[in-house]
Amino acid sequence: MLKTETPSQEHAGLDQYPVAVLVETLIADQLNAVAAVRAAAGVIAAVVEAAVPRIAAGGRLIYVGAGTSGRLGVLDCVELHPTFSWPHERALSLLAGGKGAMFQAVEGAEDDSKQGFLDLAALLPRANDVVMLLAASGSTPYVLGALDAARTAGALTVGIANNVDAPVATRAEFGITLDTGQEVISGSTRLKAGTSQKIVLNTISSAIMVRLHKVHGNLMVDMKATNAKLLRRAVALTMHATGADAASAHFVLEQCDYHVKAAIVVLLRQVPVARARALLDQTEGSVRAALLLQ
């Protein structure tokens, strides 16, 4: 039996715990997710190093999974655009059972390896694409089928599993094993196994975006204000990065179509918007380099 499926003996009387103890037990077990990710930090760093040049060369981030793992992939995928202005067409996700499986389980979809292969192949994967394949068990047929298609196309494959020596990890170019062990509620990998996967996806995608100059210092500067909340955030980020007052930050952002990067360069270099944009283009979007470029 897989470790993630093996009943835990530590909390065999879970259903009899007082509510306060029950809540504390469920929270405390999540700390094991953090420990599992930390143990895999070396290979996670290697994934980022391998992925960055591919993505910089025009590659796409592609997420594949079923059930909880698949939904976590969708979540990371869709948040890249509002957070980093990452193009929608360069962040794609495949969920066993299709889009409807995001909200309701599609029975048997995860067992179809052929469909996994076909779904990934339909995206026309290329060598610069980075395909992240998630499966708590590490042996989900749909995910393994997609893995085969990605490898056939020469894409970079990253297998993420919660069991040691899982096929999705051993057959991918990079295997990330998150050994979270037995779940408090036996077999429910939406708990710490899912938490560990979420941490890994956050870490990989965020690190890639940092390396692609989507972050200045530790500020999220490559977002665009498309609603009132994001407008307030853009003004605050611009003020923090430049020392400008709110009125000045808002005025310059308006001239820059609310692009924080450009506003920072305009304010700190005291140049027109067109020049700020040209400087960013010359430095591949690096605010730090644009501020130094003569």
Q: Using one digit for the tens of pLDDT, what is the confidence trace for 222-271?
A: 987 888 999 999 999 999 999 999 999 999 999 999 999 999 999 999 99
Q: Is 275 exposed, middle or buried (0-12, 13-18, 19+ CB in 10 A)?
A: middle
Task: Give the DSSP H/E element, type plus range, for residue 28.
Answer: helix 19-39
- Nearest 5°: phi and psi at 142? -55, -45
pLDDT digits (tens, 9 = 90+) for 135-175: 999 999 999 999 999 999 999 999 999 999 999 999 999 99
- Work out the burial of residue 220: count CB atoms within 10 Å of its CB; fewer than 13 is exposed, 13-18 middle, 19 or more buried: middle
- The amino acid at residue 44 is I
Is 110 an active-site residue? yes
Beta bridge partners of 95: 65
Assess whether the region 14-211 and the region 215-292 belong to the same CATH fold.
Answer: no
The confidence band for 63, taking pLDDT boundaries of 50, 70 and 90, is very high
Average pLDDT over residues 272-277: 97
Q: Helix, strand, or coil here: 131?
A: strand
Helix or strand or coil: residue 103? Answer: coil
Q: What is the pTM of this model?
A: 0.94
Q: Which residue has the tokens 């808002």?
A: 250
Q: Which of 110, 183, 254, 284 is catalytic?
A: 110
Choosing among 1.20.1440.60, 2.60.120.960, 1.10.8.1080, 1.10.10.10, the CATH entry for 215-292 is 1.10.8.1080
Judge whether residue 107 has pLDDT over 80. no
Q: What is the pLDDT of residue 227?
A: 87
Q: Average pLDDT in the 83-91 region? A: 96
Query: What are the structural domain ranges in the chain?
Result: 14-211, 215-292
Q: List Cβ neighbours of 117 (8 Å cut-off, separation of 6 or more).
A: 145, 146, 148, 149
Helices 67-84 and 192-211 meet at what angle, rounded to 10? 30
Q: What is the pLDDT of residue 224?
A: 75
State the catalytic residue, choosing from 79, 89, 107, 173. 79
The pLDDT tens digits for 200-209 are: 999 999 999 9
CA distance 191 to 188: 6
Nearest in space to 188 (alpha carbons), one of 28, 1, 4, 3: 4
**By the 8 A CB rule, do 132 and 62 touch?**
yes
| pLDDT over 80 (residue 1) | no
pLDDT band at 8 (very low <50, low <70, confident <90, very high): confident
Check if 183 is active-site: no
Nearest to 162 by CA among 65, 27, 47, 61: 65
Nearest to 37 by CA among 254, 193, 244: 193
Long-range contacts of 108-113, Cβ-Cβ distance < 8 Å, separation of 24 or more:
109/66, 109/142, 110/66, 110/67, 110/140, 110/141, 110/142, 110/143, 111/141, 111/142, 112/141, 112/142, 112/145, 113/141, 113/142, 113/144, 113/145, 113/148
14-211 classified as CATH 3.40.50.10490? yes
pLDDT at 234: 95
Please tell me the predicted confidence (pLDDT) of residue 105. 82
